[in-house]
Amino acid sequence: MKNITMLIDGQLVVATATFPVINPATGEAFAQAAAGNAAHVDAAVDAAKRAFSGWSKTPDAERQRLLHALGAALEAHMPELMELVTLETGKPLAGLNGVGAGMEVGGSIAWTHVTADLTLPVEVLQDNAEARVEIHRKPLGVVGSITPWNWPLMIAIWHVIPALRAGNTVVIKPSELSPVATARFVELANAILPPGVLNLVTGAAGSDVGPAMASHPGIAKIVFTGSTATGRKIMAAGAGNLKRLTLELGGNDAGIVLPDVDVKAVAPKLFGVTFHNNGQTCACLKRLYVHASIYEEMCAELARIAASTVVGDGLLPETQLGPIQNAMQLAKVEELAADARASGGRFLCGGKRRAGPGYFYEPTIVADLSDGSRLVDEEPFGPLLPVIKYSDVDEVIARANRSLNGLGGSIWSTDLVRAAELAQRLECGTAWVNEHGAVQPDAPFGGVKQSGIGVEFGSHGLAEYTSIQTLKIMKS
């Protein structure tokens, strides 16, 4: 049994109580984590505040060097980190289309190096006989990072590295369902960074750790990835000291397939972007609208692929999809499936939990539902896809945009010009053509409407960890 401790001011910190971390492939605990509380948050924020004065003044090139060293440390520990990610999330080491723990750790390494190389140079707005006007970017202070369970290490990296790169110090709180790989990352980072620059506080289910961070007067900004409901609570709790916020929240992304596609060629791609990580990715395709002329052929092809997909323990090399990450999410998937059945959904494959230990659910394709049914309107965050028939393209764009969310969306077609025009009519932060959910470290990513506030990645994402200081120097 692994023991996960907190890390505050460069020191490992144990708590009087612990909580179990479950391997979703077995339903049994494989680690015990320290049950922190609001007092640990206070200690971590104090340490981060003390470290800020040194870290924010550290020369840029030195901060870059240390972050590259951290990227190299992650790479040196890649097999260990992959196993931890698989044990705590259930995602396979390799996974469907290579989307698994290897990608999570590999992506974390790549994001660290690319973000380390980003810069925010001084902008000169005016430089004439009268005055020189410059825009400077300053770090904010202590950043609080609160992460979810679906991509725990990758999302921790997405939060922590740009915050540090910009000169902030950080307190991170991982999900109580998946704190293990994050704890190892923080430990590796603390062998490289000065004490207090990156601190970890873990909390059990329902603990006061997350709320204490959201309302803490010593934290200047919260970067949060998780559900829209929790995002709202964090926004309200942060009002006390007008916290800066980046909120990456839920999505219920639509994909729209035009009638000109080759069904056999496109179906495997659609299946991959929907079902990788069992659909437990914010920007997975979650509602698939298919033109009536190819609807039955597409449904049959998707069901054939789903039925041949290998579901099992993520530690086994042949596994393409692992278990659902936790019992509560499995119960939500079962509830949405039951509602879909009651609403006349035609189950083409799957539709049930696998017998035996662990939180396994068969990949499921449901035809004949429409907007207004729960499986179409709510984010399932599981291996369950509604395929919805449409006949008019303007009408289907309006249906896609009916959602309160606006994370991503996609158009699938051989006519790239028309597809790009239609993609721009989708109300979402990222619109893809013949792709869905693909992100990269230099392109901004974020949600519109109730999918979030702000963006991550690239120089746009980095700028969110800074405030602007305008400097005006009069010359006459």
Interacting residues toward ligand NAP by CB under 6 A: 146-150, 173, 175-177, 203, 205, 210-211, 214, 225-227, 230, 233-234, 248-251, 282, 379, 381, 407, 447, 452
Task: Tell me the sheet residues that pair with 390.
Answer: 291
> CB-wise, 135 or 237, nearer to ligand NAP?
237
> CB-wise, 5 or 175, nearer to ligand NAP?
175
Among all residues, whose Cβ is closest to ligand NAP?
210
CB of 469 to ligand NAP, least distance (A): 29
Task: Tell me the sheet residues that pair with 365.
Answer: 349, 385
CB of 121 to ligand NAP, least distance (A): 27
CB of 174 to ligand NAP, least distance (A): 6
How far is C-alpha 443 from the chain's CA centre?
Answer: 15
> CB-wise, 248 or 313, nearer to ligand NAP?
248
Name the active-site residue from 248, 362, 379, 456: 248
- Identify which of 186, 141, 184 has the alpha carbon closest to the alpha carbon of residue 160: 186
Name the active-site residue from 88, 104, 176, 282: 282
> CB-wise, 90 or 167, nearer to ligand NAP?
90
Strand ranges inside 40-183, DSSP E:
123-127, 131-139, 142-146, 169-173
Please tell me the distance from the alpha carbon of residue 33 to that of residue 202, in angstroms, as a whole number.
7
∠ CA 259-263-268, nearest 5°, is 135
Alpha helices in 249-407 (DSSP H): 263-275, 295-307, 327-342, 374-377, 393-400
CB of 324 to ligand NAP, least distance (A): 12
CB of 78 to ligand NAP, least distance (A): 22
Token output for 202: 């873990």
Question: By CB neighbour count within 10 A (0-12 exposed, 13-18 middle, 19+ buried), where does 27 fall?
Answer: middle
Please tell me the distance from the alpha carbon of residue 215 to that of residue 238, in angstroms, as a whole number.
5
> CB-wise, 404 or 471, nearer to ligand NAP?
404
> CB-wise, 148 or 167, nearer to ligand NAP?
148
Q: Would residue 272 be called left, alpha or beta, if left means φ above 0 and alpha means ψ between -120 and 50 degrees?
A: alpha
CB of 29 to ligand NAP, least distance (A): 16
Question: Reduced to 3 states, what is the DSSP secondary structure of residue 405?
Answer: strand
282 is catalytic: yes
Please tell me the distance from the alpha carbon of residue 179 to that of residue 149, in angstroms, as a whole number.
8
Q: Which residues does the annotation mark as catalytic?
A: 248, 282
